[in-house]
């Protein structure tokens, strides 16, 4: 589906958050002009593990056009202004206040070009005492409270992907689509501000509500759920690990039945979720004894028969070989590489395709000619 074909996006971007948002627009058919500093988006140098290129850059930049601009140069600033004048959407995630100082303040641009949709992504937004504080993914994981509930009782842990950047990029993408719908009605664009901190904090409403109004602060529990039991990781008889998730008392009764322990369905300390959470060591010990009787795949067969939810603990090679994994080729200079989860959305049976990953300033000369 090329639903956004005909739209032009200019993205003054680096790293992950803004490139994530603009990559989704490119995947949907928009023309995305990626503005890089003369030395390039620093994400190009994060690693060189994908045919000599950065895994982050390959993931987030397929289908874009690259132009390198020195925005300290009046000539290159004039090029950017001419591109913006013809663009539908401007995205930027430079440091706090940088675009304003360069003469590209979003409010001024929206006044000059009323149909333009501007999206600014920053660590903490433009207001408040920390508005000018630099921010990166792991730092916001810590500041937002995510690290406080992630990890084990022995200490906090980083979520294993750039979850804050991705969250901010997803939030920006959704807000841009809303703005496009609004513009189709009013003819006017708008300025969207996305704060990495606020985007991540929104995801933390459940532990926040439990803490503030329930007096129960979720503890770091590794792969166990803080407020549902049994819900976590157990070791089967062959040493393979399996997570199970019991969401309600009916499923608990089914679990005890399928493993031949029906008396535990309504026993003291086991009957309700509140009971089981309060009695978690005994509950987990019982479940471990049940799952430890047979191999993981034998256990899976029993759980399938009882319609009880489970998940194998997969490593990256397991994901490569997973029967539900889907891949699509992303063109690179040295040949295509397969991108994971290309089928995350399938619309009317049609899967997305991905454009080539640009080299630095690959389209610079052509863009300069096009925009005068």
Residues tagged active-site: 225
Q: Per-residue DSSP letters for 204-232?
A: THHHHHHHHHHS-PPPP-TTS-SSSSSEE
The C-alpha torsion from 90 through 91 and 94 to 96, rounded to 10°, is 90
Structure tokens at 47: 């690693």
CB atoms within 10 A of CB 3: 12
Contact by Cβ (8 Å): 260, 289: no
Query: Going by C-beta distance under 8 Å and a sequence separation of 6 or more, which residues neighbour residue 310?
Result: 242, 243, 244, 245, 299, 300, 303
Contact by Cβ (8 Å): 87, 112: no
DSSP structure class, residue 158:
-
Contact by Cβ (8 Å): 66, 19: no
Contact by Cβ (8 Å): 54, 95: no
């Amino acid at each position: 589906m090329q639903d956004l074909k005909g739209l032009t996006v200019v993205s003054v971007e680096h790293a992950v958050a803004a490139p994530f948002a603009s990559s989704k627009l490119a995947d949907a058919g928009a023309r995305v002009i990626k503005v890089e500093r003369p030395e390039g988006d620093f994400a190009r140098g994060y690693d060189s593990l994908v045919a000599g290129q950065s895994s982050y850059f390959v993931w987030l930049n397929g289908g874009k056009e690259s132009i390198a601009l020195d925005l300290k140069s009046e000539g290159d600033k004039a090029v950017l202004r001419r591109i913006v004048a013809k663009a539908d959407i401007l995205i930027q995630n430079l440091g706090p206040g940088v675009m304003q100082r360069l003469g590209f303040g979003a409010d001024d641009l929206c006044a000059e070009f009323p149909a333009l949709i501007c999206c600014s992504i920053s660590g903490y937004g433009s207001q408040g005492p920390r508005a000018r504080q630099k921010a990166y993914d792991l730092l916001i994981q810590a500041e937002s409270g995510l690290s406080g509930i992630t990890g084990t009782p022995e200490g906090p842990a980083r979520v294993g992907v750039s979850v804050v950047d991705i969250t901010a990029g997803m939030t920006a993408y959704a807000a841009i689509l809303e703005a496009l719908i609004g513009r189709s009605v009013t003819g006017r664009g708008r300025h969207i501000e996305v704060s990495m901190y606020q985007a991540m904090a929104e995801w933390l409403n459940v532990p926040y509500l439990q803490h503030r109004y329930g007096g129960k602060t979720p503890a770091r529990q590794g792969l166990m759920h803080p407020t549902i039991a049994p819900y976590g990781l157990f070791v089967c008889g062959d040493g393979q690990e399996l997570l199970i998730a019991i969401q309600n008392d009916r499923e608990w009764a089914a679990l005890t039945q399928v493993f031949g322990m029906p008396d535990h369905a309504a026993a003291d300390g086991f009957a309700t979720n509140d009971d089981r959470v309060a009695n978690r060591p005994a509950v987990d010990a019982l479940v471990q004894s049940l799952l430890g009787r047979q191999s993981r795949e034998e256990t899976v067969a029993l759980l399938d028969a009882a319609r009880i939810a489970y998940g194998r603990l997969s490593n990256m090679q397991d994901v490569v070989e997973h029967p539900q994994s889907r891949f699509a080729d992303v063109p690179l200079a040295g040949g295509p590489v397969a991108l994971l989860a290309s089928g995350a959305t399938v619309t009317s049976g049609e899967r997305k395709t991905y454009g080539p990953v640009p080299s630095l300033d690959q389209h610079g000369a052509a863009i300069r000619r096009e925009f005068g």
